[in-house]
Amino acid sequence: MFSLLINKDKGFFDMFEKSASNAAAGAKALVDLMDSYPAALAEKVKVIKDIEHQGDLITHQTIEMLNKTFVTPIDREDIHELTTKLDDILDLMDGASGRLAIYKIGAVTPEAKSFAGLLVRATDIIAQAVACLRRLNNCKEVNGYFVEIHTIENEGDQLFRRAMVNLFAGRDPINLIKWKEVYYDLETATDRCEDVANAIEGIIMKYA
């Protein structure tokens, strides 16, 4: 019985790590899509969509595990928040890539490419920070991860602001509408990375 509980505990950390590395794979696929844009667009959008479906599956399994586990290694609400926010990162990257295709956008902007680069950095750090949850008392480097995530989110804010100024200086309203939504998804994805970092920080403060 005791080993069963231990196994279950390990299960949640496994799921968080799977979800975070899946988000990192999504960010890399987004960079790939943007670097070769619009070559093989439909295929590259589908790669991200498949990763996002994978993420849905991981999230669903985590929630199922949560509903079936009586004693959880960390608070239930923290497990729920962490898994949901991790899932959001991929949903938003998938949203951005889907919009490029649906809106038939002809070329990607430098700001969009910069966002994809930020998301690779952010999700890589999230993957490392999530791995700290397994060894709460033995992860001194985690504070460095939090600082880095806040830096990235700040860069994302400034990038979004610059993108908006450029966009509203244009004269094509339909183009404006299209890009506003793509940028919104990309910027919210970086915000969700910060939310995940804040959730991890909260858990560490409670248990360390």
Residues 192 and 122: beta-carbon distance below 8 Å: no
* DSSP per-residue codes, 39-104: TTHHHHHHHHHHHHHHHHHHHHHHHHHHHH-SS-SS-HHHHHHHHHHHHHHHHHHHHHHHHHHHTT
**68, 71, 141, 158: residue in contact with its own copies (rule CB under 8 A):** 68
**5, 31, 41, 63: residue in contact with its own copies (rule CB under 8 A):** 63
Nearer Cβ to its own copies (65/131): 65
Minimum separation from the CB atom of position 24 to its own copies (A): 25
**2, 4, 104, 138: residue in contact with its own copies (rule CB under 8 A):** 104
Q: Is 168 in the site for its own copies (CB under 8 A)?
A: yes
Minimum separation from the CB atom of position 76 to its own copies (A): 9
Q: What is the residue type of 134?
A: R
Which of 16, 25, 45 lies closest to 33 in space, CA to CA? 45
- Hey, what are 172's tokens? 């094509």
**3-state helix vs strand vs coil in the chain, percent to 5:** 85, 0, 15
Q: Is 50 in the site for its own copies (CB under 8 A)?
A: no
Nearer Cβ to its own copies (24/193): 193
Q: Is 147 in the site for its own copies (CB under 8 A)?
A: no
Nearer Cβ to its own copies (127/152): 152
**152, 178, 193, 197: residue in contact with its own copies (rule CB under 8 A):** 178
* Distances 51 to 22, 29, 55, 136 between C-alpha atoms, Å: 7, 9, 6, 29
Name the site residues for its own copies (rule: CB under 8 A).
Answer: 63-64, 67-68, 77, 98, 102-104, 161, 164-165, 168, 171, 173-174, 176-178, 180, 202, 205-206
